[in-house]
Chains A and B, each alone.
Chain A
């Protein structure tokens, strides 16, 4: 049980491009508190919304457009729930190393996607959506949900995970059916 969780965590970190080993004072996703976790989720949502806007601008495939519109609709709905909950709890999400890492990585991906057109763009976008949802879902399920202290925040992440897992399946279907 412990070994499989550790292995799983290691694979999640590798997908996210994070170091598994490292110095004693290096921050790891396991060290994040509820407010930092909420910040990471908010940033991750907004990154996916940005990718979707790029897809709407650059893709000519109607299925990609529908998927992108769903990503915007759903991630905005999740963000709205998250902001509502933080306001209700009277707290603010807190910036942290992982949020910054996600933003830095997304800039490279946006640069790469922006240079592509047509079927090449569609394939790269679909592959990235699948990989991104897999990585974030692994992090949410394997690290965030077990570590979140506040019951309402935990419940929101559990609901969010079901949505993002559906997105992951949807992305898989898109990857499998692209010409």
Chain B
């Protein structure tokens, strides 16, 4: 039993040594999606039947969010403090926002103020 544990510890040590030899950082193993363009996501929020769908969206810094209006009445996607704003979106129009760390996450439709939704910025 003890010998098995010893072997596992040894194997782990060997792996770390190998990584060091190859010049790889341990951080790379953990993965860092915000620094890798391939990991960035493009999210879509549909505005349909007088609702944002999904109404809550998890994103990461660097991701993009695109709102597409599928209703025949115009809508907007507007930050509560108006710091970002799609302006008028008629049917079929879309608006894309790239997520930065400091953007306000609660938003609404300026035309239909009871249409509210939010994004959540994940670490």
Interchain CA distance A73-B49 in the complex, whole Å: 16
Q: List which B45-84 residues lie within 8 A (CB) of chain A.
A: 49-50, 71-74
A contact face: mostly helix, strand, loop, or mixed:
helix
Contact segment of A14-22, A145-153, A165-173: A165-173
Residue of A nearest to B88 (CB): A73
Contact between A74 and B114 (Cβ–Cβ < 8 Å)? no
Chain B residue, CB-CB nearest to A170: B114
The 7 residue pairs across chains A and B that have the minimum distance between CB atoms: A166-B50, A74-B73, A77-B73, A70-B111, A162-B49, A169-B114, A162-B50
Can you list 22 residue pairs at the A/B interface with Cβ under 8 Å? A66-B110, A66-B111, A66-B113, A69-B111, A70-B111, A70-B112, A73-B73, A74-B74, A74-B111, A77-B74, A78-B72, A80-B72, A159-B49, A159-B71, A163-B50, A166-B50, A166-B112, A166-B115, A169-B114, A170-B114, A173-B113, A173-B114
**CA distance in complex: A168, B94 (Å):** 27
Report how far A149 CA is from B72 CA in the complex, Å. Answer: 23
A116 to chain B, nearest CB (A): 24
Let me know if B74 and A166 touch, CB within 8 A. no
Query: In the complex the two chains form, what is the Cα distance from A69 to B71 in whole Å?
Result: 17
CB distance from B116 to the nearest CB of A (A): 11
Q: How far is the CB of B2 from chain A (nearest CB, A)?
A: 68
Q: Which residues of chain B come closer than 8 Å to A165, judged between CB atoms?
A: 50
Residues of A within 8 A of B115 (CB): 166
Within the complex, the shortest CB–CB distance from B123 to chain A, in Å, comes to 35
The number of chain A residues with a CB under 8 A from chain B is 17
| Bound complex: CA A1 to CA B48 (Å) | 30
Q: Which residue of A lies closest to B111 (CB)?
A: A70
Interface bin, chain B: 10 to 19
A100 proximal to B (CB < 8 A):
no
A28 interface residue, CB < 8 Å from B? no
Known contacts A162-B49, A162-B50, A163-B50: does B113 contact A170 (CB below 8 Å)? yes
Closest CB of chain A to B114's CB: distance in Å? 5
Inter-subunit contact A78/B114 (CB<8 Å): no
Is there contact, CB below 8 Å, between A81 and B72? yes
B 26-61 to A, binary, CB cutoff 8 A, 1 in contact else 0: 000000000000000000000001100000000000
Cβ contact within 8 Å between B73 and A78: yes
**In the complex the two chains form, is A77's CB within 8 Å of B112's CB?**
no
**Distance between Cα atoms of A70 and B115 in the complex (Å):** 13
- State whether A170 touches B112 (Cβ < 8 A): yes
Q: Could you say which residues of chain A place their CB within 8 Å of the CB of B74?
A: 73-74, 77
